[in-house]
Amino acid sequence: MSESAANFGRKIQYASERSLGHASPQSDTSVGYVVRDVHRAFSRSLQAKIAAHGVSMGQWFFLRALWDEDGLTQRELSQRVGMMEPTTVTALNSMERRGLVERVRNPHDRRKVNIYLTPKGRGLRDVLLPCAAEVSDLATRGIAPADLALTIDVLHRMIINLGDNPDTI
């Protein structure tokens, strides 16, 4: 059996055990594993909802940033979303072809290109944000508000802890 087939088999076995509640104790008690699993579950659920509107997860992050502040430069947009500039260019090319954004040369600095939402891109806000709210509501169903607030507080502290650690650069 090839190594990739063996890895695939282990992933299938792990997913099966996890769905039956038999995941390894190490992964159930590791904050990193659990946060990763939650992130992946959120992403899968959100992707399923926004795909119905022709939007990919990559485009979602750029739309969210532009809904917060339209007219960012490509570099600013890359930094806000946390993606490399070549990835941003590829996503923006796709979004421009779909009529979601337009690139406009900055009149004050001709080296810069600002990204603006089109009416179609702005209009997706009222369609897609409720999708994200549905995912959040589903994920937090049955969780007491105090527990949720504590979870968010603890996760924010972990972000700060990891950001303050020079070993995580």
Tens digits of per-residue pLDDT, 9-32? Answer: 444 455 545 555 555 556 678 899
For 27-41, what is each residue's pLDDT tens digit?
A: 678 899 999 999 999
**pLDDT computed for residue 158 by the predictor:** 93
Q: What is the 3-state secondary structure (H, E, C) of 53-108?
A: CCCCHHHHHHHHHHHHCCCEEHHHHHHHHCCCHHHHHHHHHHHHHCCCEEEEECCC
Predicted TM-score (pTM) of this structure: 0.75
Segments of the chain scoring below 70 in pLDDT: 1-27, 165-169
The CATH architecture annotation of domain 53-139 reads Orthogonal Bundle (1.10)
Q: Please give the C-alpha separations between residue 3 and each of 7, 8, 33, in angstroms, as whole numbers.
A: 6, 9, 23
**pLDDT computed for residue 29 by the predictor:** 82
Q: Tokens 């390894």: give the residue.
A: 24
What is the token pair recorded at 132? Answer: 């994200």
**pLDDT computed for residue 4 by the predictor:** 47
